[in-house]
Amino acid sequence: MCGIVGYAGHRDALPRLASGLSNLEYRGYDSAGVALREGDDVTVYKTVGEVSELRASLPESSEATVGIGHTRWSTHGEPTDTNAHPHTDCTGDVAVVHNGIIDNYDALKEDLEATGHTFASQTDTEVVPHLVEDELADGASAKEAFAAVVERLEGSFALAMVVGDSEEIFLARQDSPLCVGHGDDETFVGSDVTAFLEYAREVTYLENGDVAVVTPDGVTVEHDGEPVERGVEQIEWEADAAEKGGYDHYMLKEIHEQPQALRQTLSGRVDEMQGTVDLDLELPEEYLRSLEEIQIVACGTSYHAGLYAAKLLEEHADVRVTVHVASEYEFKGGRDPWRTLVVAVTQSGETAETLGALRDAARTGARTLAVTNTVGSSVTRTADETLYIRAGPEIGVAATKTFVSQVATLALFAVHVGRQRDALSATEASEILGDVRGLPGAVQQALDADAGVRAVAEEYADSEAFFFIGRRLGHPVALEGALKLKEISYDHAEGFPAGELKHGPLALVTDQTPVLAVLTEGARPDATLNSVKEAESRGAPVIGCHSAGHGEKFIDAAFDIPDLGEMEPLVANVYMQLFAYHVANLKGRAIDKPRNLAKSVTVE
């Protein structure tokens, strides 16, 4: 996730900005930069790579007492020096840093280019300084110019801007956090408090729709053009806790980030009314219509996301889909390999086996698509095309928010392909998209019920083993639930298609083996209930993740899921993540770095 830092005071801004950037490194980034306002000029230093590299390129000190800085985690455009923030206008007097995504940047950029603006980067952000430049040229003050530009932006953003002839920093927040730290005769800006915690412990949090002006004396905030008071809070956290947003582990923080990750995944891509999606893909309609098969290749959690997506694609796009563990994959594209689309699903974009499978497929003549979280990763350079899941960086080794964002992205892809192939009507597509758009809220409801999940985890943490069952879309979620639990708690956990229980695993079921069941729409809950009864009659406690009317009478502990059609099993997955987390935490495991595991597996 990108990070923002800012400083307005009477001391040298440079060391403060530099240390703020170092403190933001934990968020994950690929490039970094600062803009210093010195005299009436703005000077920008930026580079791809680590903050230490940027720091090495900076002067020892500066005259600047106002500045902004940024750590970038790419969403539009590869990680390069030019794409790093801050971005400037044609005059170089306006510098902007930005977290989030500006959905309408394409149209804005087109207009700006038509009126003579020259763009240096491939980012969405760069439209902002150029728009401000136009407003300033029309006689607006910096504050007026900034506010007018913010009005024109669609999407999610936290923005900070400095201009040559002002000693202020201009801020705007929409769906991406931004806060202001009050120091001793100096004011700081941060995408979170870690950016300035060593200098300021009193903080003002901006709210969605706020536009603010920062000076050494503090911050003034406007909302809908009217001044508002946002109050000041005292920060009690130490830096380590602050990096984790107050959570004990990155994994728990990332579980709780899922609603926000989903909003980013969906941002600007869904037209629910029309039943269409815009994924910015070049796959031509005739190609999608003539497609014979989609082969999904992936490992681990991404493989489970692929299993989920396969069912959606088969159902809604009327195309044959096979899903392959990448290490077991052998491309078979028949006589016309081009008619097979091979989709690599990988959070990191660097998993050796997934890359190997994709290369094999490409060599044999298949068309390839990467679905990844990581801009500029190896998979994006290997595949013909890339679809980003935009979940933000994931630091905990166990994948959590990226799973739900992978499935949501692929659900949009299924709707897109289904519409192009005339397999899905606009009305059917609207319904599916409505469910996908309901995900952030439904996931939030599950997160709000965390205390109940913890209580259930306390009751069953010392069990001999854990079994996870589900059917259809509940099956990949059962596999994923078991994977999460085993990798962070080191307990024996297995996932099965519910119907398979009686074909063998039932021999292991006792009163010491809780069974976690997915009892939702899209997961054939009535059939799964038969398996639940089989387990219960062997004494097993059953923990049901269920939507209304599915199975609450039969289960020992129940987690509620709102009505959300085929997206319901994804909410069950959130309960399973929380359950795994609490079991592991009660056992004192190294949750963010489980033994023997790595975040990115780059060897076969």
- Give the interface with ligand F6R as residue ranges (CB under 6 A): 299-302, 346-348, 351, 354, 398-399, 483, 487, 600-601
Q: Is 152 exposed, middle or buried (0-12, 13-18, 19+ CB in 10 A)?
A: middle
Q: How far is the CB of 301 from ligand F6R (least distance, A)?
A: 3
Which residue, among 186, 52, 76, 168, has the nearest Cα to 124 in the 3D structure? 76
Which residue in the list 143, 502, 593, 599 is annotated as catalytic? 599
Our CB check for ligand F6R shows the closer of 168 and 480 to be: 480
Which residue of the set 2, 179, 299, 545 is catalytic? 2
**Whether the Cβ atoms of residue 326 and residue 354 lie closer than 8 Å to each other:** yes
If the CB atoms of residues 548 and 590 are measured against ligand F6R, the closer one turns out to be 590
346 or 430: CB nearest ligand F6R: 346
**Cβ of residue 597: shortest distance to ligand F6R, in angstroms?**
8
| Sheet order of strands, 202-205 included | 41-48, 31-38, 66-72, 3-8, 187-190, 179-182, 202-205, 233-234
Distance between CA 143 and CA 141 in Å, rounded?
5
Report the alpha-carbon distance of residue 54 to residue 488 in Å, rounded.
36
CA distance 383 to 377: 11
Least Å from the CB of residue 342 to ligand F6R: 15
- Closest by CA to 70, choosing from 100, 109, 105, is 100
Q: Is 599 a catalytic residue?
A: yes
DSSP sequence for 17-57? HHHHHHHTGGG--SEEEEEEEETTEEEEEEEES-HHHHHHH
Query: Cβ of 516: how many Cβ atoms within 10 Å?
Result: 31
Task: For ligand F6R, give the closer residue by CB, 47 or 577.
Answer: 577
Q: Which is nearer to ligand F6R, 482 or 532 (CB)?
A: 482
Q: CB of residue 324 vs ligand F6R: minimum separation in angstroms?
A: 13
Distance in angstroms (rounded) separating the CA atoms of residues 426 and 219: 47
Per-residue tokens: 76: 């539009």
Is 313:321 a contact under the CB 8 Å cutoff? yes
Residue of 93, 90, 92, 95 lying closest to 70 (CA atoms) = 95
Residue placing its CB nearer to ligand F6R in the complex, 487 or 494:
487
Residue with smallest beta-carbon separation from ligand F6R: 300
CB atoms within 10 A of CB 602: 12
Active site residue 2: yes
Task: Give the residue numbers marked as catalytic.
Answer: 2, 599
